[in-house]
Amino acid sequence: MTANSQAAVWRVLAVSVSRAESGGPSGRAQTPGCQCAAQDRSRPSLEQVGEAEEEFIEYSAAEQAMRRWLYQQGLLCARRPVLVLTLCLLCVGACALGMVRLRVMTDPQELWVGRGSQAAQEKADYEVGGPPLVSQGW
């Protein structure tokens, strides 16, 4: 912050403190013998400093555009909550349409054995030919 902007901030703070003492915008008048009135005169509150500094901050063009766009988005959400919620549900539903064709595989052999692998061919041969010849029990 430059020296000129600091001086301007202190001028704004001095005006806001004098308004607060006279019962200005805050709506509360200070009594002359009150200790809090003496504290208010000596040092501005953090809220007053924050508000005064924001008036003199220079934002870049990109940040200004982003602040404007986000402000507009906030207004839209606050003014038309039903529309915003409906659009969000439609977007989520559109993204979830792929789950209609989802097929869950639970067979471990389908999951871990490739279709054209040697193990898959041996399993298919085994299923077609039946169990291997086993000697007859005596």
What would the mean pLDDT of 80-87 be, rounded to a whole number?
Answer: 96
Tens-place pLDDT, residues 11-67: 766 666 666 555 555 445 555 555 555 554 567 676 666 666 666 778 889 998 999
Rg (CA), the chain: 37
Average pLDDT over residues 62-82: 94
Higher per-residue pLDDT: 102 or 58: 102
Cα gap 14→75, rounded to integer Å: 33
2 in Cβ contact with 53 (< 8 Å): no
Percent of the chain with pLDDT over 90: 27
Decide if pLDDT at 129 tops 70.
yes
Say which amino acid occupies 99.
M
Residue-level pLDDT at 27: 47
